[in-house]
Structures are given as structure tokens and as C-alpha cells.
């Protein structure tokens, strides 16, 4: 995968007559009473990646956190401490070009997951939503598991050997009929046919929230109309490269929000 060509496709020169929404509207569905910050990180990463509008559908407490965290995020609070199937109708009302689902969701939202698999929009699946996947998804879905989450998906221990990892990611991307981005010291991306590797990133990106940053970047690129496999490859590169810039400044003190602040220096260079 030629990342430069994908970035050029995603970040075309804006025309003078461009208007709000032309460069993507993203819906973030996630958060819970316990994990209140994840939707905010996803949303801000998406906006720093060029997305025009980000809507956050989350339980009241998580939505309130997002609203107080940044006035750039449009929050839609839902009743309860966790998202359930009862919230699906409200979620469907938001007009968007792509969806990010699962970040900070908690493990009490299995009923909602079963309904979310029906959506036809490009969709990033992360966090606890990765634990309740159906046997088949669709080409519009991008899964972004780490090794532990991938083991839950496959029912096998994720191999350490790179070639074995590549084989397994490709196998399950084909089996699930989707794109998988397996996060690691070398990211592996496959749509079941092609396989790409990403080597940006560093060991300091183990901090909580860095996976949410990746999901937000991928969601933003999907919202621009980029094909899921290409979007996943580009997102892995941008996230890792932003982390590489951030670690030079912060080292052990690196936070997910520091990575978000470096996204501009990757996509604008």
C-alpha cells in the first residue's frame, strides 16, 4: 500500500466553495459510566484529522464529559449508565458519513452490538464491541483490535511471529468479510485479500487512549469516502507517526492527547 497516494486522495486541496460537512461527518457511539473519556479522544482525533463534524452519542455522564472537554464536539446524551438496544433508534437519527463504535462501551451493551452490525455506513469497531462480533460482518467494517482483543475474536493466542500474525489476520479478515487492523509493534492490516504492514509508532504508545486516537483517525478518513482498507492503512501510519513526534517531546509522560496534537504535523507535511 502506497501511503502517500492514500493521503493525497484523502487530503485533496479544498476548493473555495467548500462548505461545512464536505469533508466528513462522523458519529461516535460509545462511552459508559466507567469509561467517560474514550468518546472525547475519538472525536478530537477525528477533528484533528480533518473531519468537519463529530457527533457523540453516549450515556449522560460520558456525554457531559465530552461536552465539557471540548466545545468542538457535538454531544447527544442518552439516558442510563450504559448504551443498550433501547438507544438504537436514537443513534439512527444522526446523519453521518461514517461511524466509530465501541470505545469505552463497557461489557453490558451486547444487545446494542447485535443491532449495530446491521448498519451500512463505513464503521470502525473498537473496544468492547470487538467482544461480541457476528460470524460475518461486511466490507464497510474496520476492526482495530490489539493482540488480546484479537485472541478473543479468533479463540486462539495471537502469535508473536510476524509471518504467522499476517496469515491469521488475513484469514480472519476474509472469514469475517471485513478489514482488520491488528495493532502492535508492527501493525498488520488486511481485507482478506491484501496485507499491509505499518512500522510507525513506538513502545510509549501503550498509554490508555492511544487506541481511541487511532479509531478516530480511521473514522475521519472513512468519513471522507476513502475505501476501508486504504483508510485503515493510512490511519495506522498517521497515528504511529504522530506518536513518534510526540514521544520526542514527552517520553514516558506521553499521553493520548499529546498524540492528537501531533496529527496536524503528520497530515500537513
Give me the chain's average pLDDT, please: 95
Residue 159 CB: number of other CB atoms within 10 A? 15
Burial class (CB in 10 A: 0-12, 13-18, 19+), 17: exposed
CATH fold of 23-267: 3.40.1190
What global pTM score does this model have? 0.97
The residues, any chain, with a CB within 8 Å of residue 153's CB and separated by 6 or more, are: 130, 133, 143, 145, 172, 176
pLDDT for residue 1 is more than 70: no
pLDDT for residue 62 is more than 70: yes
| 7-30 average pLDDT score | 93
Q: Bridge-partner residues for 59, per DSSP? A: 78
Quick: pLDDT tens for 85-129: 999 999 999 999 999 999 999 877 778 998 999 899 999 999 999
Q: Which three cell numbers stand for residue 113?
A: 452490538
pLDDT for residue 23 is more than 90: yes
Quote the pLDDT of residue 109. 74
Amino acid at each position: 500500500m502506497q501511503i502517500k497516494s492514500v493521503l493525497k486522495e484523502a487530503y485533496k486541496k479544498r476548493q473555495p466553495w467548500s462548505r461545512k460537512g464536505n469533508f466528513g461527518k462522523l458519529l461516535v457511539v460509545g462511552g459508559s459510566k466507567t469509561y467517560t473519556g474514550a468518546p472525547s479522544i475519538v472525536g478530537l482525533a477525528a477533528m484533528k484529522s480533518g473531519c468537519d463534524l463529530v457527533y457523540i452519542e453516549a450515556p449522560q455522564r460520558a456525554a457531559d464529559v465530552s461536552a465539557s472537554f471540548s466545545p468542538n464536539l457535538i454531544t447527544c446524551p442518552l439516558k442510563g449508565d450504559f448504551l443498550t438496544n433501547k438507544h438504537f433508534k436514537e443513534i439512527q437519527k444522526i446523519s453521518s458519513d461514517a461511524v466509530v463504535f465501541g470505545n469505552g462501551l463497557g461489557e453490558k451493551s451486547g444487545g446494542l452490538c447485535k443491532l449495530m452490525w446491521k448498519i451500512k455506513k463505513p464503521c470502525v469497531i473498537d473496544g468492547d464491541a470487538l467482544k461480541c462480533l457476528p460470524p460475518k460482518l461486511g466490507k464497510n467494517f474496520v476492526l482495530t483490535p490489539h493482540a488480546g482483543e484479537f485472541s478473543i475474536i479468533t479463540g486462539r493466542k495471537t502469535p508473536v511471529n510476524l509471518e504467522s500474525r499476517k496469515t491469521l489476520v488475513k484469514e480472519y479478515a476474509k472469514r469475517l468479510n471485513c478489514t482488520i487492523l491488528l495493532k502492535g509493534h508492527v501493525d498488520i492490516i488486511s481485507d482478506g485479500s491484501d496485507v499491509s504492514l505499518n512500522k510507525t509508532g513506538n513502545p510509549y504508545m501503550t498509554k490508555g487512549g492511544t487506541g481511541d486516537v487511532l479509531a478516530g483517525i480511521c473514522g475521519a478518513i472513512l468519513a471522507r469516502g476513502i475505501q476501508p482498507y486504504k483508510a485503515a492503512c493510512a490511519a495506522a501510519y498517521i497515528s504511529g507517526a504522530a506518536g513518534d513526534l510526540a514521544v520526542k517531546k514527552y517520553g514516558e509522560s506521553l499521553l493520548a492527547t499529546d498524540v492528537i496534537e501531533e496529527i496536524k504535523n503528520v497530515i500537513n507535511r
